[in-house]
Amino acid sequence: MRHSKLGGAALAGALALALASCSGGSSDPGSSEEPGAGGESLTMLIGSSGEAETAAVQAAADAWAAESGNEVEVIAASDLNQELAQGFAGDSAPDVFYMGWDQFQTYASDGFLEPYAMNLENADAFYPALVDAFSYDGEFVCAPKDFSTLGLVINTQLWTDAGLTDADIPTDWASLQSAAETLTSGDTVGLSMGAEYARVGVFMEQAGGGLMDGDSVTADSPENVEALEYVQGLLDAGVLAWPADLGAGWGGEAFGNGSAAMVIEGPWIRGALENDFPDVEFQVAELPAGPAGSGTFTFSNCWGIPEGQETAATAQELVAFLTSDEQQLEFSAAFGVIPSTESAAATYAETYPENAAFVAGADYAVSPVAFAGAADVVGEFNNAITTLQGADAQAVLDQVQSQLEAASEASQG
């Protein structure tokens, strides 16, 4: 396993491009109808960030259905990983689904995914790092639907009310803690983020650590201990609280209802806030640097199709529609994600300068650890993070180290 840089030269090149639907697909031998014949009913399972995303995906599915003569039922999962696993176990997998970066290698290695992506007409248009993330044994398996990085989202009204200015926007750990302390008042905590590796892990990267270094497991490194102890210090000072402790389901909700003045989230928060908390004004900064420099995560889902499904050819046509530049920019407008194709990402950067911090983060973003079996270990780590305050950071990481080493050895046969 290796960290995958997203952006860098690729994104820089995209941003320099002038602003700029694809169809495609090969027939599935097992399909009972020719692609494009219409009349098929597909189910789509998604893991949504909120009503804005669900509505946008439903609108796209409806548009394709009207155009193709097929039908699509969109199901927003309450627990995507669990419901997807149950579907495969019960031989009732959805025809199209979000396949997360953290689950992809496991599903691909078990032969559950149709390797269709290389057959798309826009297969060469995706960011190379995303192609790499959703390839298995050198084969481009499923098309990335978009990508996101993490930034520091700031409630501008609360920021101003606290007497803070642009000069106070955090650039390092010390200034992040200072701002969080200033913003913590009454029922509002200065900072919130999900109690999970997918958020806390950015501090490990900023400290020069990370769960993996190439193929080596490095969870118990001094850098990671330093990162967890920094987060513990914020918790102990009462300037950081997990969303659940604020009565919120996720960071965006805690931010929207005013119980958190800053959150670490991705560009999807824009659509959620516009939909649920339209009066909340905010700005986004790059995540503050740590002792070793800047660090953020990049996330993506691909559009998964079950291997051998009779509807695979029609599902591939749907994915071609969903990953077109035009449709990806519709999704960007609805809930803020960055398109997975370089040409659409260039248009996105021009259209949404307020999201410049998210785009800038792609220059140094890394993918969280994701190999077959890693997801279970990360799940255990997430459980430990919920009780991080008062815990022994070294002991927590020692446990992750042993579990991740075992999972890594198992994944290599």
Predicted confidence band at 28 (pLDDT cuts at 50, 70, 90)? very low
pLDDT tens per residue across span 178-231: 999 999 999 999 999 999 999 999 999 999 999 999 889 999 999 999 999 999
Q: What is the mean pLDDT of residues 375-385?
A: 94
- Structural domain spans, the chain: 8-148+299-355, 151-295+373-411
pLDDT tens per residue across span 229-250: 999 999 999 999 999 999 999 9
Distance CA 144, CA 300 (A): 7
Residue 317 tokens read as 């046509």
Angle between helices 197-206 and 374-386 (to 10 degrees): 90
Angle between helices 222-236 and 393-411 (to 10 degrees): 130
Distance CA 182, CA 407 (A): 42
Residue 74 pLDDT greater than 80, yes or no = yes
pLDDT of the residue at 46: 97
Q: What is the dihedral of CA 125, 128, 130, 134, to 10 degrees?
A: 100
Distance CA 134, CA 139 (A): 9
Distance CA 269, CA 249 (A): 13
CATH 3.40.190.10 fits 8-148+299-355, yes or no: yes
Distance CA 340, CA 122 (A): 11
CATH T-level fold of 151-295+373-411 = D-Maltodextrin-Binding Protein; domain 2 (3.40.190)
- Asked if 21 and 34 count as a contact pair (C-beta separation under 8 A), the reply is no
Share of the chain above pLDDT 70, in %: 91
pLDDT of the residue at 364: 86
Predicted confidence band at 18 (pLDDT cuts at 50, 70, 90)? very low
Q: What is the DSSP pairing of strand 151-155 with strand 282-285? A: antiparallel
pLDDT tens per residue across span 255-306: 999 999 999 999 889 888 988 999 999 999 999 999 999 999 988 899 999 9
Q: What is the DSSP pairing of strand 260-265 with strand 151-155? A: antiparallel
pLDDT tens per residue across span 115-126: 999 999 999 999
CATH topology of 8-148+299-355 equal to that of 151-295+373-411? yes
Q: Amino acid identity, residue 363?
A: D
Q: What is the DSSP letter of 169?
A: S
Three-state DSSP at 224 gives helix
